[in-house]
Structure 1
Amino acid sequence: MGDQDGAHVSPNNGPESDDPTVIGFRPIPVQDALARREPLPPRTGANTGPIPPPPREAPAPLREPPPPPIAPPTVPQPVARPVETASLDAIQPTERPSRPEDLLPAAAATLLALASELRRASAAQNVDDMRHKVVEEIKAFESRAVEFGVAADEISAARYVLCATLDEAVMTTPWGTASRWSANSLLNQFHGETWGGEKVFIILDRIRGNPAQYLSLIKLVDLCLLFGFEGRYRVVEDGRYELDILRDEIGRLLKRHVQAPPQELSPRWRGLSARRALRPYLPLWAVFVSVGAALSLAYGIFAYRVVESVRPVITELDSLDTNQSPMPAFPPPPVTQTRAPAPQPVVRAPAPVVERAPEEERRRPVRRVEPRRQIEGPLVLTPPSRSTGSGAQ
């Protein structure tokens, strides 16, 4: 750094104004630097001749400036979204259900939907105004339950469960904790209590013993658990696991006592068919009779047309004169007489010639051949004697 700083200092210890660049300063030409230098004072002494100028320094090679840095990719900025707020304006009550186990859930449909909306709301328009509307809606729930024919004790228990669910939904949000809701909760206004996380499950244990009578209330508690109510299980260890087991038990209880829902979502979802089957309206024998009648009618029509087409020919034949002599018969063909072939002479075959033996042969006596005797014992072959052989010779 010292050398670099010294390169930019003039002999009179004055800074030189080099042009700034991207990597430093561009050196000024030597001629300009020499022209701006002040003359040195004359030296006194032996050597008083002219002082030669200092040796010229070679200019530093100019470097090409580096390319401009690549601009970083533009990251899309998140678009500001409106803050989700809780409101009761878009929630409308439902009509009276047809099944008795749906009476309390139908009457509290608006409050259940509000509890779900409060849990995911990031802010509230006006907490005090909203609380006032919730109080009015709880009173409307009681009126609808009375119109549906629900007993007074069930309405009171259902109101307690709903107040505890709504209070917990509000107090688990940041805006609810910062509000004055906890100082004047719904349970405190309607039942004079500040926390219902324990009593809700006590009520559930009591009504589970008589599910046939309190089936609608059991279903309402199950819906509150479904919409996020935890109560005492929020603060105990493994509370979520125990709450899941409890919900499974309630589900099995409802499955045993609640009427199974219909297989089809809507009983009238099928449109009217353009073609109807013929068999449900017409028996099979009628089909065969109709086909036979149609074939008979077609045969009669074609037969009538054939007769009508040959009728002129028949009329013309009938109008012919029948008194005319018949046509003469053709003479029979002449009979040609053929002669029988002449009889051929019969040639008799010559009689066979029988050669007769000479008289001597006829007179020779016939040798009688005796039958062979059965030889008993071993067969012994004796060679002929020489005397017999010689005599024979």
Structure 2
Amino acid sequence: MTMQSATREPIFKEPGGIREPQRAALTNKADVSFNTVEQIDQDSDLWFQIRGYGYNPLVDASLPIIGLVMRIRKLNKNPNVDELYTTVRNQIATIGEEIAQHKYDNATQLAYRYCLCSFVDEAVMGTPWGAQSIWAERSLLSIYHDETWGGEKFFTIMSRMLMDQEKYRDVLEFMYVCLCMGFKGRYGVQINSGDELQAIITKLHKALRQMRGETPETLTAAHSNVASRNFRVGKQWAWWAPWAAAAVVLVLAFVIYSLVLNTTTNEVIRSLDTVLQQR
């Protein structure tokens, strides 16, 4: 059974917000409000430099937002919430345009954006300044999906997509990343729900591991890059080293010569004394 089954009602409504035009990646750190907060200035480019190396396009596209969420959780105050809100909203619109180019079906794109918005909204609302900001009035989820809280539906989406794991593998992997990065949803407001949430993460990991295959015991063969012959690291001698070595050799030669000459001289003197005494 899949999400398109006629016996189930759709789990998504049509997007209720206005799509923002695609914007170029930020290059000036002054344009990103959280970079003005002490100890948060890490990258002048919100898109980071680690994009493009992932095997999952959905996870790869979300890396800037994931990095942003990690920073947001460290902010005890943010005087530029409106700028941050606009930045994130534009980024999600841009990510949506990028994902559309990968030919994902509508259900996949909606589920991905729903989870992405829920992930960011929860991080912001968990800060001391989030509840008094524009986020409390117009969350990302309310803009794009006309809902105010995604903590419940996030896990509903996951359960339904697990019924067709191969088709929705990329979305499920993104959900797994969100959970590993601290998203709790409904379990964040329940008491003693840590074990239950961990069980869900473990179940999802097993499902994804089966689709991706077993983890290799080693990343590379132990001797695959070992050179077949011995190489020595080149050493740079100081300019005075040869002269010092030559001086040491000369001193040793002089000392040895002096000792030999002294010994020979003593023997000659003793021989002369013996001859003179015999006369």
Q: Confirm or deny a common fold (TM above 0.5).
A: yes
Partner of 1:190: 144
| CA distance 1:266–1:132, shift in 2 (3 Å) | farther
1:233 to partner: Cα distance: 0.9
- Residue by residue over 1:186-235, the C-alpha shift from the partner in whole angstroms, topping out at 9 and shown as x without a partner, is 01111111111111111011001111111111111111111111111112
Percent identity, please. Answer: 28
Q: Distance in 1 between matches of 2:66 and 2:115?
A: 11
| CA distance 1:107–1:261, shift in 2 (3 Å) | farther
2:163 is paired with a residue whose SS is: coil
Does residue 108 in structure 1 map to residue 62 in structure 2?
Answer: yes
Structure 1 unaligned regions, length at least 5:
1-81, 277-393
Does residue 179 in structure 1 map to residue 133 in structure 2?
Answer: yes
Q: Distance in 2 between matches of 1:187 and 1:88?
A: 27
The structure whose residues are more often helix, as a share, is: 2
Does residue 147 in structure 1 map to residue 101 in structure 2?
Answer: yes
Partner of 2:46: 91
Detail structure 1 runs of 4+ shifted over 6 Å in the superposition. none
| Greater RCO, CA 8 A, separation 6+ | 2
1:123 to partner: Cα distance: 2.6
Partner of 1:228: 182
1:156 is paired with a residue whose SS is: helix
Highest Rg: 1 or 2? 1
TM-score (norm 1): 0.45
Contact 1:84–1:122 at 8 Å: present in 2 too? Answer: no
1:245 to partner: Cα distance: 1.0
Choose which of 189, 208, 216 in structure 1 pairs with 2:170: 216
Partner of 2:112: 158
Partner of 2:158: 204
Q: Distance in 2 between matches of 1:273 and 1:88?
A: 38
Q: Which amino acid aligns with 1:202?
A: T
Contact 1:185–1:194 at 8 Å: present in 2 too? Answer: yes
1:156 to partner: Cα distance: 1.1
1:123 is paired with a residue whose SS is: coil
Contact 1:92–1:110 at 8 Å: present in 2 too? Answer: yes
1:164 to partner: Cα distance: 0.7
Q: Which amino acid aligns with 2:178?
A: C
1:264 to partner: Cα distance: 5.2
Choose which of 190, 196, 202 in structure 2 pairs with 1:242: 196
1:89 to partner: Cα distance: 3.8
1:143 to partner: Cα distance: 2.3
Q: Distance in 1 between matches of 2:121 and 2:59?
A: 18
| CA distance 1:204–1:173, shift in 2 (3 Å) | same
| CA distance 1:260–1:90, shift in 2 (3 Å) | farther
Instruction: Give the RMSD, CA atoms, in angstroms.
Output: 2.7
Q: Which amino acid aligns with 2:46?
A: I
Q: Distance in 1 between matches of 2:53 and 2:102?
A: 7
1:84 to partner: Cα distance: 4.0
Q: Distance in 2 between matches of 1:160 and 1:87?
A: 28
| CA distance 1:270–1:126, shift in 2 (3 Å) | farther
